[in-house]
Structure 1
């Protein structure tokens, strides 16, 4: 259920400065977004899985905090990231 190494490596290389830049805010938001998509699909299949619902809420909160931080320090990067990830409509 977790992201594979290949998936996380591709996200890190796409959103980070290099392939080892895992601490970058943009990379973390992209990884959380991928995890949210996986958990959402899992909950669609297994609606009674309460621990998955709790995990989903926790990851959404973490992503929300990072998005708020990114918005406060670099508004243009925030707008570009949400557009690329398709978070807002």
Structure 2
């Protein structure tokens, strides 16, 4: 499986405040980004997989909401996570 507990732990350690910090906006955004990149690669090979395409669209929307929340809450944290994940160009 592409996303096991070890990979999740690594993402939360890198972008969260602690290993058990699964609820912060930064850790959730990082997890969504990882999942979005995986689904994007899947859809490049399987362009008729409409269920996955819908899931990808929903995930992008959820990530966008979290980024908007973080932008309004603390601009410095927003800029840090965007730079770390390389989202905005």
Q: Deviations over 1:58-82 (max 9, x none)?
A: 0000000000000000001101110
Q: Which residue of structure 2 lines up, in the alignment, with residue 6 of structure 1?
A: 6
Aligned: 1:43 with 2:15: no
Q: Distance in 2 between matches of 1:3 and 1:61?
A: 20
Alpha-carbon shift at residue 12 of structure 1 (Å): 0.4
TM-score of the pair, normalised by structure 2: 0.96
Q: Structure 2: which 5+ runs fail to align?
A: none
Structure 1 stretches of 4+ moved >6 Å: none
Q: Which residue of structure 1 lines up, in the alignment, with residue 15 of structure 2?
A: 15
Aligned residues: 89
Q: Distance in 2 between matches of 1:5 and 1:41?
A: 21
- CA-atom RMSD in angstroms: 1.0
TM-score of the pair, normalised by structure 1: 0.96
Q: Structure 1: which 5+ runs fail to align?
A: none
Q: Distance in 2 between matches of 1:2 and 1:61?
A: 22
